Structure 1
Amino acid sequence: MADKNVVELLTDQHRHIEKLFDEVHSTTDADERTRAFDELRRMLSVHEAAEEIVTHPSATRHGYGDVVEARQAEEHEAKKLLSSLDGMDTTSPHFAAGLARLREAVLAHARNEEELEFPLLLADAAPGELERMAAAVKAVERVAPTHPHPRAGESAVVNAAVGPLAALVDKVRDAARSAMA
């Protein structure tokens, strides 16, 4: 079987993110909930960085800047929500309420990408381009930040410039938290 194209890859990631939300919500053990949220936070952070660097610029080049701008606004709101939960006690009622708001925002954003942006890419990008974009998404995800950085914005240029440094800082922060646990 051939490698997945970028739309298939990102759609699969959307389903995985939905499962991670379910896991965080349903897990009652505090340590397991924190572990599940850490995985969700990491996945959301690298996924959005990859979309901002690869997918959205391609859709813009194909003439769909208005669709991309709306998705970027949604991403910015989700980053702010995710950032507010990062480091919070996962057993607190504030966390549960924030997680519910984040889930609603992220899943609405994913639906909008799948219904409004991805069909445009499938219609206008050549199959080879879509496969190369999937490879680029995977490459970006290997070096992307693992925590939300809403102040960095949603620009592909800013993410490409700041992302690797932010990723290094995130990995050091993750290692320190892990050592302290």
Structure 2
Amino acid sequence: MGTLTKQAALKTATKPLLAGKATAKAATTASAWSLRAMRALGGENVVDVLTRQHRQIRLGFLQAALPGPWRRRNFDRLMRLLAVHEAAEEAHVHPVARKALRHGRELAARRRDEEKRAKELLIALWRTGPDGSGYLRRLNEVRRAVSQHAAREEREEFQALRKAVSLPRLRMLGAEVKLTQAYAPTRPHRLINNEATNKLAAPILGPVDRVLDAVHRRVTT
């Protein structure tokens, strides 16, 4: 066999090996990047992230009901927390529950229906505002709907996710939730209420909402 023929045969024989090494290297790099990103975001599992936010939301309702000069600020903070919290759940958590849990499809559908009803009340509260007539009544309506929804999530969905999904996946999901909340819309939008619409709308409505928030803060301060 000539020298050129040997070199060609050697090159052909090593192609699969090189391709396999390249694929393995890419997978390792992606995995390392994911781990670094997860560590940067705290490595907290998604159930702990969302349960803590449920506590913050319950406190936020109490603060938003208080009279005085801080009511507007407390109201805006509560609206923002509710908006980004639900956006992350709809985009990441309910889809995982639908696939991973027993009766997950029905469970996720019930949570989405609850969120749609709560969002209708939330939009009415947003339009009323902390200085509008009937504010406390609307605030209490939203508080009841959100509290009942959160309790069902923790009892029916979160506990099951802890058992059905591995801890590394729960931690990665926690990182995904935090990333989504960093750019999600900060106010309720009627038609943004499922995985697809949240993922499509967030890069557009999120920045728009944040610009409007900044303008509002300048006007009111």
> What TM-score does the superposition give when structure 1 sets the normalisation length?
0.93
Q: Deviations over 1:47-80 (max 9, x none)?
A: 0000011110100111401111101111111111
Is 2:126 the counterpart of 1:86?
yes
Q: Distance in 1 between matches of 2:127 and 2:71?
A: 12
Single out whichever of 40-49 and 54-63 deviates more from structure 2: 54-63
Post-superposition offset of 1:176: 2.0
Amino acid at match of 2:62: D
Q: Which has the higher contact order (CA 8 A, sep 6+)?
A: 1
Partner Cα separation in structure 2 for residue 174 and residue 85 of structure 1 = 17
Q: Distance in 2 between matches of 1:127 and 1:56?
A: 17
Q: How far did 1:178 drift?
A: 1.7
Q: Does 1:52 align with 2:90?
A: yes
Residue 128 of structure 1: CA displacement? 0.6
2:50 equivalent in structure 1? 10
2:109 to 66, 69, 78: 69
Find the residue that maps to 1:28 and give its secondary structure: coil
How far apart are the structure 2 equivalents of 1:93 and 1:112? Answer: 31
Q: For 2:71, which of 33, 36, 59 is the aligned residue?
A: 33
Name the residue aligned to 2:210.
171
2:198 partner amino acid: N
CA-atom RMSD, angstroms? 1.4
SS state at 2:213 partner: helix
Whole-angstrom distance in 2 between the partners of 1:157 and 1:113: 21
SS in 2 for 1:151: coil
| Matching residue within 147, 151, 154 for 1:114 | 154
Structure 1 residue runs of 5 or longer lacking an equivalent are: none
**1:4 CA drift (Å):** 2.4
Amino acid at match of 1:137: V
1:161 equivalent in alignment to 2:200: yes
In 2, the alpha carbon distance for the partners of 1:100 and 1:129 equals: 36
1:100 aligns with 2:143: no
Q: Percent of counterpart pairs with the same letter?
A: 35
Number of positions where the alignment pairs a residue of Structure 1 with one of Structure 2: 177
The 8 Å contact of residues 87 and 184 in structure 2, kept in 1 or not, is answered as yes
Unmatched 5+ residue regions in structure 2? 1-41
The alpha-carbon distance between structure 1 residues 89 and 60, as it changes in their structure 2 partners (threshold 3 A), is closer
For 2:180 and 2:43, the matched residues in 1 are separated by 17
* Corresponding residue of 2:180: 140
CA contact (8 A) 2:44 2:175 kept: no
Consecutive aligned runs of 4 or more in structure 1 exceeding 2 Å deviation: none
CA distance in 2, matches of 1:122, 1:43: 24
Mark the structure with the bigger radius of gyration: 2
Q: CA deviation at 1:96?
A: 0.7
